[in-house]
A and B are shown apart, each in its own frame.
Chain A
């Protein structure tokens, strides 16, 4: 399907469903007991015709009225036993099966939270959601019903057939006649149904995605009066789904028809044969009644095989979809590996080659830089944040495409605030995402106070580094909880107030319940500026050693911005920070500025130095320069800028020319 990378999975339904075992294991005793109880109950049902036979051939034929009472009493007792056993079965599985469903959902949620951000970039959340809901419900139903009853019905049919054969082997064989064609049809059906079922489930996922987007993007839909065309797109998808569902129904209908007709024909043949045998006296009337009664009692077990198989097939598809996500590797898996061999298995040789090439190219570069930049620090562990020959390309980027970030060398000294400036789309946000390891560097390394970030446990790393994202997301929780997310558990009211003060978020106190006001998905919706200030408060509340701010003031008005800047300046004084900046006012928070261009750091210096010496920087900051010659937010720096960049960053011009070419290609 369009949204789902569906691997060609040739596993049989049984093997797919067997993957559920780890989840079923904890409840296996209950489940097996329940299946056993169901078998017993089913067999009790099969004994009833025998009692009838005994009554017809015995007390009824002998006109023994006491015997009739006794027979009826047997029937009643058997009936009560059957009812209680079936009830017991349901009672046994109710809690365990909801347990299994809940466990699987919790596991999925846990796993998804730990999958790389790159995975989430790739997967629409609607597809994930449909796995967590519809698919898991299908699985629970499968465990509750088809799994048990395929077994129970199999045993029931077997026992029933044995009973019939024992009563009269000729009639029994007649009844067994359709077994072979039915089994063949079922096998054929299973194969075809599984394909359609998978298609239908994927289409449901796509539909969910459209629904989700239309809700999340409602302002755009409305702003452009596009709700009709959205509805059209939705209608098309849901029509496709309807077509698939109808194809599914036609398959079901044919298997049902077969399941109804063939056994009925066999019963008819048995009736005719039986009548002839009763007539010539070789069979008792009671036996014929019991025989037909048994055959009818087997009707449901046989009939149901069709839909039980259909349900199992859907469950197998759901299982495959579930594990498709569950088998994705969690990022924790390679917590302490070195980034140098981080090339993903999927990336193949290309990435490895690039990584190798960059290693040889990048390291001397870094050495040169360290030499010119901070000679004293070269020998001992480097304090602050050091990007050392860092390259990055998205793991799913097409082979041969230029890396987003290419051999980045940058040193933020301890306590220093570095602004990161670059044209729209130059990779600033990507660079910031590398520090808390939301994405993994493809080559090179990043150190915090001399420690490679890949050698730190993620939890520790993310405690050291606090981030304020460009899109300030608030969670369904109170304002206070949202802010205190960034702090250790011991943090309290004092820290909260301090952080709110830094972010100039006094508006919080005017909310209906102050800092206890619920916000996010299920609460009050705040304006972009308000959310941004809370996100900023969240980033600074824990007094992190390292702070990454991605354009933290973009949605603030001038007065608030000035106030936040003043307060932020004090916070920044005590921390090492990387601040993505679009505007001079934000840049001025920083001690130095790094210019990101064409995937490389082309200049480092103070704002005024760069403004004077670097044409591209001047253009980005004022927008006034050479508007005629530059068509837009130009990604290609002009030669003058390159020259200035060289002096700033201390990189050889030859290396950069190569990069430029790579970028252009």
Chain B
């Protein structure tokens, strides 16, 4: 479970400087992505926590790398805002000019200064309005492009990460990364950054104006920034911690929520509703509490900063009025100064809002950076090699396991060193009890995992040097869980080969015996699997998965328990397809049902990670080994 303490990564003291949200470099960072290996969760498993370890400074690097490609546009946006704020801040100056110059001039019958004031104000408001439009539109483009980039990066990265990562980092957390965490960055970019720039700009402009109008008033204004800065720092430190907790809390809520909705049938059948609600209440309350903590931190900040600001205003008015009364300052200057003062501290609340969205975005970015820092343990090669042209007429390819050993990085050897050659075109059945290592063998061949030692060769080429596209033309794996994506049935089959025509898709479905049921669906092949009437049973889903594999037309086909939900005729259809459509391909079939063995050229019996029997089915059945026992038990079960 995600304990609340696990996410409180960085030390409080070091956070306000530089990149405030980088993970603690001494603790989690040293464990690093190196420990991202399959295996049971142990005490130090970084995957038990919501925030994955990221190298120090990763958050800042991420943000910079997101903004770097659009530097010209960011500059343009800032310039737009710069000019716009300048136009906005002209107002009080015009007021000072009007009181000190235009009023006496008007009394003297000269209208020039007043006309200048009128024209000036007209220009200022028109320019600030037009630039406001330009700025909002331009900054929206920047922020939307950043989000597009970030969403894409998270998505592509999550897809590129190896199966072992997905087996350990829960889907709910991954979803939370690309939804709520991106959402908080969206808030920062949409409102926050604009606020920040505006706040800084108006501070700078107004302070400059005040200093120019009167040094004393300006000095008080500048001096007041010091305690304000202190407030901001304090808030950032305190709120940073709260927001990290909050982001973890919402992730836990999401995990629970998604788990319930995806498992709604057992939830119902086992009357889990109330227990779930109790669990959910705890998580929800935890989130509500941290959420409230965040809002209270904000309240504290607002009180503090407002107090400083209003005290400074009183001080400046006192100083100014004293000087006007003493005759050393013009009334118009005091008026302008007062008007500026009203504006000077106006953005304080907005600064708070910015800090709010910044802190929550920083906490989210930190987690995203942690995710992006995960290196795929099954990386794509930098310089992929092509597969050699097929040596014979037959499409099958030769598979060689060369001195392969596989162990989880946390220890725990699954497959001790072994060598194995599967000649091109051979159909090999792998049998053995659960945990014997059959699936690991298949996953090594499909390159879901890379071997700890040794190499897996496809027609003499190391799998690690093949590009993904080339690898999947060579090897395709069909697993027990036949997940369907939303979209039509045809789309789901076409996943095997996207460029396939409708005829090819239907041919694949017919070959596997799935055509009849698909044609009987409300819209046939175009039936949306998530829509009305698109209900498809587990066995039918497996048939679709097979059609997909047929369409992919690989050199090597791996079936990992892929027929478990099929009935006997369905299984026959698959076997028939393997004898006809898939004839000549190298096939590795893992099945509990020994019926598959009947079409196999060779049987491997595995036990505790080792191949203990290897031979033609007939020979093994005739023998006295494990397989012969197994086969007898199975024949009896058929009765």
Contact = CB atoms under 8 A, between A and B. Distances in A.
Contact of A289 (B141, B277, B300, B335): B335
Interface string A522-566: 111101111000010010000000000001001111111110010
Contact of A260 (B128, B137, B288, B520): B128
A7 interface: no
Interface stretch (A80-88, A334-342, A378-386): A80-88
Nearest to A227: B159
A332 to B, nearest CB: 10
26 contacts: A76-B311, A79-B307, A79-B311, A91-B299, A94-B296, A113-B268, A129-B261, A211-B178, A225-B471, A229-B498, A230-B155, A245-B140, A249-B141, A253-B140, A254-B133, A264-B124, A264-B128, A268-B124, A276-B106, A296-B339, A397-B522, A473-B265, A555-B564, A558-B633, A585-B639, A623-B571
A246 to B, nearest CB: 6
Contacts of A97: 292, 295
Contact of B175 (A109, A144, A211, A585): A211
Contacts of A214: 155, 158-159
Interface string B363-381: 0000000000000000000
A189 interface: no
Nearest to A67: B325
Interface string A456-479: 000100110111011101011000
B418 interface: no
A204 B151 CA distance: 12
Nearest to B120: A268
Most buried by B among A72, A84, A276, A401: A72
Given A264-B91, A633-B567, A635-B520, 13 more contacts: A60-B331, A94-B295, A105-B253, A129-B179, A208-B179, A211-B178, A225-B472, A227-B160, A253-B132, A274-B98, A463-B271, A557-B434, A588-B639
Contacts of A101: 288, 291
Contacts of A272: 98, 114, 117-118, 121
Interface string B462-495: 0000001101100011111101111000000001
Nearest to B569: A633
A528 B481 contact: yes
B535 A261 contact: no
A450 interface: no
Given A109-B260, A261-B129, A224 B94 contact: no
Contact of B140 (A75, A78, A246, A584): A246
Given A264-B125, A425-B540, A561-B592, A121 B303 contact: no
Contacts of A469: 265-266, 269
A520 B299 CA distance: 40
A245 B569 contact: no
A472 B135 CA distance: 54
Nearest to A65: B325
Interface in B306-321: 306-307, 309-311, 313-315, 317-318, 321
B433 A560 contact: yes
A129 B538 contact: no
Contacts of A219: 163, 448, 477, 479, 481, 483
Interface stretch (B9-17, B165-173, B206-214): B165-173
Contacts of B257: 109, 128-129, 132
A235 interface: yes
Most buried by A among B2, B514, B535: B535
B317 A230 contact: no
Contacts of B416: none
Interface string A415-434: 00000000111001110010
Interface in A245-268: 245-246, 248-250, 252-254, 256-258, 260-261, 264-265, 267-268
B515 A522 contact: no
B320 to A, nearest CB: 9
A94 B117 CA distance: 46
A275 B98 contact: yes
B175 A129 contact: yes
Nearest to A274: B98
Nearest to B281: A106
Given A72-B314, A293-B338, A398-B533, A470 B281 contact: no
Given A94-B292, A120-B264, A397-B532, A224 B128 contact: no
B7 interface: no
Contacts of A651: none
A561 to B, nearest CB: 7
Contact of B317 (A72, A102, A582): A72
B106 A275 contact: yes
A631 interface: yes
B115 to A, nearest CB: 9
Interface stretch (B25-33, B142-150, B386-394): B142-150
B532 A256 contact: no
B174 interface: yes
Interface in A197-220: 204, 207-209, 211-220
Interface string B259-277: 1111111111111110111
A23 interface: no
A507 interface: yes
A90 B317 CA distance: 28
Contacts of B300: 87
Nearest to B176: A133
B284 A105 contact: yes
Interface string B540-556: 10010100100010000
A292 B339 contact: yes
Given A94-B296, A106-B280, A120-B261, A215 B171 contact: yes
Nearest to A115: B264
B125 A215 contact: no
Given A238-B152, A261-B128, A558 B637 contact: yes
A542 B156 CA distance: 45
B171 A216 contact: yes
